[in-house]
Amino acid sequence: MKSIKDKFPDIPDRISGLGELAYNLWWSWHPQARMLFKMLDRQAWKESVHNPVKMLKELPREILESAVKDSEYLNYYDGVMARFHEDITTKVCWFLENVIDSTCLPIAYFSAEYGLHRSLPFYAGGLGFLAGDYLKECSDLGVPVVAVGFMYPEGYLRQKIRVDGWQEDIDEVLDRDDAPIQRIFNEKGEQLIVRVPFIDPPIFVTVWKVAVGRVSLYLIDTDIDINDPWNRSIAYHLYIGDIEQRLRQEIVLGIGGSEVLNTLGIRHSVLHLNEGHCAFALLERIRGRIEEGMSFEKASEQVRATSVFTTHTPVPAGHDVFPFHLMDKYFSHYYPLLGLGRDDFLQLGTHPEYPAAGFNMTAFSLRMSYYHNGVSRRHGEVSRHMWQLLWPDKKEEDVPIDSITNGIHVPTWVEPKIELLFNKYLGPDWLKDHDNSVIWERIDDIPDEELWQIHYWLKMKLINFVREQARRRWLENRVSPFNIIASGTLIDPTALTIGFARRFASYKRTDLIFHDLGRLKKLLNHRWRPLQIIFAGKAHPSDDDGKRILQRIFNFTHDPEMGGRIAFVENYDEQLAQYMVHGVDLWLNNPVPPLEACGTSGMKASLNGVPHLSILDGWWIEGFNGKNGWAFSGGGDDQDADAIYTLLENEIVPLYYKVDDKGIPRDWVKVMKEAIKSIGPIFSARRMAKEYVQKFYKNALKSAM
């Protein structure tokens, strides 16, 4: 077994804590900790793409030794390490002070994806970032969570756009030994291998641990030698299209994940499912109780009373449904273990309206858990409407699906320079109490010049990043000059810049702003008040519709009539998201309502003073207050596009370019400030995590006692 020390033989003892710190993502949301790595060698930090494990492994011994001779560095090191140890061991935390004053068994949190950091590509989009942000916040609040997910060695995909605008999906294999994840060993010091119970022929998994502050996330990996190739590939990619492999993926996550926790000796009190992909974990909880002698009724009652299910999907077609013949293939020897016959078992997952369609993971999750929620107020309504059938004797408004609106982890998404500005004007402790709206009133004390100057600096940073990416592709791949223009080299730092970055799912209508080309070109090419738009986003590898929309946009980027004012930046990931939500002037969002269950990127932008221009859907229905951005209600493509052009022409563009004699757009800055202070406290993961605890965990924990 290799300890952290063995992994970094070149780190001198005096600063050996760097190794421990590198393996805890705590560094990712503490700028001082990131600085500790950056100070060693700026270039190496950049080349590692901000991954301290990779950097420390590659750094020459001399650099580490010279750090030990630098008293300033050592001072800084001691400060950060003290704070780190204090944070991950302290017993003083919100959870223990406000919820339960003794230790309890942890809440097991299951999710198919986690968006935590650019060095861990285990996410596709919003669902993953929600889960990642949630774990970080649970660590901050001391909520005892243990999390389970998948290790996807090929991540999602690396996006490369061909000259003709078609997206190529390049698999990039993650070097597990270079990532901030640790192998789990058994007591003999060998890599732990767990067999997914009751599946024949057998599937084996191994396990990796990601330390997220005080929270441990266990990642299941099927890519090991003793599995045959079909089994090895179960977790190669997120959301496999092949239905049988998809079922096997969910069996491994739910049933295998439960077995992993058992094997590690981790008992849990409450189960929280982030979307239905992991719902088979409910079966294992029930089966375990039946094994101890309970009846199915009693066992399922107990499991219900201690299980939480968060649904994220606002359309019937978005839920996983598995055909019965596949359920038979994998579960026919499982039914008896629950004391159920085939029909009774399959009944647990049928949709009342389409009982023959198959085993519906959402219907199953709703039936077998007591606490359920949608992810915004609107999505709660949509979910109650969609699932009323499961509660035929209740009126729609009484259907027991609550809502808890998503929020973002503020320390992760606040840009460090903005954080310093808040330290200065909100007080150095603002972050400790950041879901308290009163603190944010002081945003008004920030001088306009100071906020505007930092914003401009962040915009330059984004533009430089975009240009560097373009330069690198030009050098390395010798792509066509078209692609270089397309990737944003003509972007002008003084022009009003819209950001639009999200998955290329059709309902997001990424190309809506091209609806009336004449009107758009007028806005783009205005002589004194030009507009420009930076796009980013990936289409799912099997989504040709999404790829066609992307291609359409890409072809506009190098249409000379667009004047080089449309850019498409490749490979949207967590890092690019950070640059974009900090550096553009306006964040645009125009999905087909009510399909954006919540949306979170607009929160990330608003927190950093980038106002949101959005259709009234998802969180924006709650977030928009008339002064903190712009809104329009949905009425189809024609009407929605018209609403966007009209707002841009009449309000947004004039406001942005109305500057005083110092060059400051005072009224625009007012909107920026209003966005920060109205959105920062409310749409935070802190407010969200407290709601999960107060509404659900508190009662579920009581039932678990």
Ligand X SMILES: *Cc1c(COP(=O)(O)O)cnc(C)c1O
Binding residues for ligand X, rule: CB under 6 A, are 125-126, 129, 502, 572-574, 577, 599-601, 604
Output the smallest distance, CB 126 to ligand X, in A: 3
Considering the complex, state which of residue 131 and residue 648 has its C-beta at the smaller distance from ligand X.
131
Considering the complex, state which of residue 268 and residue 502 has its C-beta at the smaller distance from ligand X.
502
Considering the complex, state which of residue 84 and residue 413 has its C-beta at the smaller distance from ligand X.
413
CA dihedral 615, 616, 619, 621 (to 10 degrees): 150
Given a contact cutoff of 8 angstroms between Cβ atoms, the answer to whether 178 and 172 are in contact is no
Output the smallest distance, CB 500 to ligand X, in A: 10
Distance CA 208, CA 201 (A): 24
Considering the complex, state which of residue 130 and residue 340 has its C-beta at the smaller distance from ligand X.
130
Considering the complex, state which of residue 110 and residue 129 has its C-beta at the smaller distance from ligand X.
129
Output the smallest distance, CB 289 to ligand X, in A: 37
Output the smallest distance, CB 539 to ligand X, in A: 13
Considering the complex, state which of residue 29 and residue 84 has its C-beta at the smaller distance from ligand X.
29
Considering the complex, state which of residue 289 and residue 312 has its C-beta at the smaller distance from ligand X.
312
Considering the complex, state which of residue 435 and residue 574 has its C-beta at the smaller distance from ligand X.
574
Greatest pairwise CA separation for the chain in angstroms:
80
Distance CA 693, CA 99 (A): 8
Long-range CB pairs of 349-352, under 8 A, 24+ apart, other chains included: 349/322, 351/321, 351/389, 352/389, 352/390, 352/392
Considering the complex, state which of residue 347 and residue 571 has its C-beta at the smaller distance from ligand X.
571
**Given the DSSP bridges, would you call strands 167-170 and 158-161 parallel, antiparallel or unpaired?**
antiparallel
The DSSP string of 372-387 is EEESSHHHHHHHHHHH
Output the smallest distance, CB 579 to ligand X, in A: 11
Rg, C-alpha atoms of the chain: 25
Which residues have CB under 8 Å from 231's CB, separation 6+?
A: 203, 204, 222, 248
Distance CA 301, CA 703 (A): 10
Estimate the crossing angle of helix 31-40 against helix 61-68, to 10 degrees: 120
Which residues have CB under 8 Å from 697's CB, separation 6+?
A: 99, 107, 143, 270, 272, 308
The DSSP string of 292-356 is TT--HHHHHHHHHHTEEEE----SGGGS-EE-HHHHHHHHTTTGGGGT--HHHHHHTT--SS-TT
Output the smallest distance, CB 479 to ligand X, in A: 24
Output the smallest distance, CB 254 to ligand X, in A: 24
Distance of CA 437 to the CA centre of its chain: 24
Output the smallest distance, CB 375 to ligand X, in A: 10
Give whole-number Cα distances, 227 to 187, 188, 258, in Å: 22, 21, 19
Output the smallest distance, CB 603 to ligand X, in A: 8
Output the smallest distance, CB 606 to ligand X, in A: 11
Output the smallest distance, CB 671 to ligand X, in A: 20
Output the smallest distance, CB 535 to ligand X, in A: 13
Considering the complex, state which of residue 537 and residue 564 has its C-beta at the smaller distance from ligand X.
537
Which residues have CB under 8 Å from 614's CB, separation 6+?
A: 587, 588, 589, 590, 599, 602, 620, 624, 629, 630, 631
Considering the complex, state which of residue 41 and residue 574 has its C-beta at the smaller distance from ligand X.
574
Given a contact cutoff of 8 angstroms between Cβ atoms, the answer to whether 254 and 281 are in contact is yes
Distance CA 488, CA 467 (A): 7
Output the smallest distance, CB 574 to ligand X, in A: 5
Output the smallest distance, CB 244 to ligand X, in A: 28
Sign of CA dihedral 342, 348, 350, 355: positive
Considering the complex, state which of residue 131 and residue 271 has its C-beta at the smaller distance from ligand X.
131
Q: Assess whether the previous peptide bond of 201 is cis (omega < 30° from 0).
A: yes
Residue 9, Cβ density class (10 Å: 0-12 exposed, 13-18 middle, ≥19 buried)? exposed
Estimate the crossing angle of helix 296-305 against helix 280-291, to 10 degrees: 130
408: DSSP letter: B
Residue 263's CB: how many other CB atoms inside 10 A? 15
Output the smallest distance, CB 660 to ligand X, in A: 33
Considering the complex, state which of residue 307 and residue 469 has its C-beta at the smaller distance from ligand X.
469
Long-range CB pairs of 628-637, under 8 A, 24+ apart, other chains included: 628/671, 628/674, 628/675, 628/678, 628/679, 629/671, 629/675, 633/593, 634/592, 634/593, 637/509, 637/512, 637/515
Considering the complex, state which of residue 125 and residue 499 has its C-beta at the smaller distance from ligand X.
125
Name the strand (E) or helix (H) holding 589.
strand 586-589
Output the smallest distance, CB 581 to ligand X, in A: 7
Which residue's structure tokens are 């997952």? 349
Output the smallest distance, CB 152 to ligand X, in A: 15
Considering the complex, state which of residue 281 and residue 676 has its C-beta at the smaller distance from ligand X.
676
Distance CA 688, CA 692 (A): 6
Considering the complex, state which of residue 255 and residue 581 has its C-beta at the smaller distance from ligand X.
581
Name the strand (E) or helix (H) holding 25.
none
Considering the complex, state which of residue 391 and residue 632 has its C-beta at the smaller distance from ligand X.
632
**Strands of 612-615's sheet in order across:** 566-569, 531-536, 496-501, 586-589, 612-615, 629-632
The two three-digit tokens of residue 84, written as one number: 């780190």
Question: For the chain, give me the number of helices (H) and strands (E)?
Answer: 33, 20
Distance CA 501, CA 587 (A): 9
